[in-house]
Structure 1
């Protein structure tokens, strides 16, 4: 496999790369590339990419939680906002390689990284899976780097039984911060 993983990328670096037309799960690929560029300008915004030659074939995006969300109340919460791999590159461990690369960086040990996974965003047909098979796949995929499902009263998560909030507390996050995060999870 002729793939290299890089990041965090600046807006200028992203601008120089092509985007696979298969990366359209969230929006058309041209608009998705612009969204990734925009994320680099946000507080805590970070983009990582898996590239084949000079074309992005997979990416992971991080940013601060939406200011209106319950998670924005915590100064150490960082949101993993999106993961996508081009269909023709799936089942080649591109996503796993991205996560391994990202979470080998000690930077993430100072944060509680969350990911909110909503079944409506899952490419069930493209992966030939039902909702529960895909959910198990996500549990394994994110679990490989220390994420685990969290019980929460977040209404967006509770909207469907397959939706899940997963968290990965960094090793340098203190107990008081972890307890505060736990409180946020269970607030109405």
Structure 2
């Protein structure tokens, strides 16, 4: 499967300034940009910048960024599922994971996350993919937002719904370990029934236990 990456962008006016939402961003361009020090949800900012550069360099890797002038203030990543997770076991070339989405506090609550997802889905190549995201409450910034797990889950689910991702049931043990965790999925228009059946088998791998 060819991993086509069609660049798209939009300008966004927020109460805190104008942003450019763009991508998939080429590796060299991402490396040339500054990375905001508050992008620390997953690891220290300089380490996360390096990690995103590595993802952008992967054949399937996609990074959509929000930038204020020359500074990255938000991003969303798409990459093949982690080899240690069940979602990689089918070796499906048309299954990619929305691995991370992060926006600095200054630009939260202004629709930046939705805009990152909107630009992601402007690419027609996304219709060839099953896109998943696995949401775990322990990754959420509950302290920074002041929300409880259900409040955060509601906001996250609404944001993902805006890009066509919907809640899907699964017996994955990690997702099932807490009721706030969830699997969300978008199945592209050109994904065939064989791939959908293969994905369903990944969602429910423990059926033989019941």
Higher mean displacement: 61-70 or 82-91: 61-70
TM-score, normalized by length of structure 1? 0.96
Q: Name structure 1 gaps, 5 residues minimum.
A: none
The offset of 1:69, in angstroms, is 2.1
The reply on whether 1:154 has 2:172 as its aligned counterpart is yes
Match of 1:15 in 2: 31
Is the contact between residue 43 and residue 64 of structure 1 (CA under 8 Å) also seen in structure 2?
no
Q: Considering only aligned residues, what root-mean-square deviation do their CA atoms show, in Å?
A: 1.1
Alignment length, in residue pairs? 188
The reply on whether 1:168 has 2:168 as its aligned counterpart is no
- For 1:121 and 1:43, locate their aligned partners in 2 and report how far apart those are by CA, in whole Å: 26
Structure 1 stretches of 4+ moved >2 Å: none
- For 1:102 and 1:76, locate their aligned partners in 2 and report how far apart those are by CA, in whole Å: 16
The reply on whether 1:114 has 2:132 as its aligned counterpart is yes
Other structure's SS at 1:23 match: coil
CA deviation map 1:125-164 (0-9, x unaligned): 2112100011111111001111111111111111211111
Is the contact between residue 39 and residue 104 of structure 2 (CA under 8 Å) also seen in structure 1?
yes
Is the contact between residue 99 and residue 145 of structure 1 (CA under 8 Å) also seen in structure 2?
yes
- For 2:59 and 2:182, locate their aligned partners in 1 and report how far apart those are by CA, in whole Å: 24
TM-score, normalized by length of structure 2? 0.86
The offset of 1:36, in angstroms, is 0.3
Match of 1:33 in 2: 49
CA deviation map 1:60-118 (0-9, x unaligned): 01101122322111332101110000011101111111111111211110000000111
- For 1:19 and 1:125, locate their aligned partners in 2 and report how far apart those are by CA, in whole Å: 22
Match of 2:117 in 1: 99
- For 2:61 and 2:94, locate their aligned partners in 1 and report how far apart those are by CA, in whole Å: 14
Match of 2:10 in 1: none
- For 1:70 and 1:28, locate their aligned partners in 2 and report how far apart those are by CA, in whole Å: 28
- For 1:141 and 1:53, locate their aligned partners in 2 and report how far apart those are by CA, in whole Å: 25
Match of 2:71 in 1: 55
Bigger radius of gyration among the two: 2
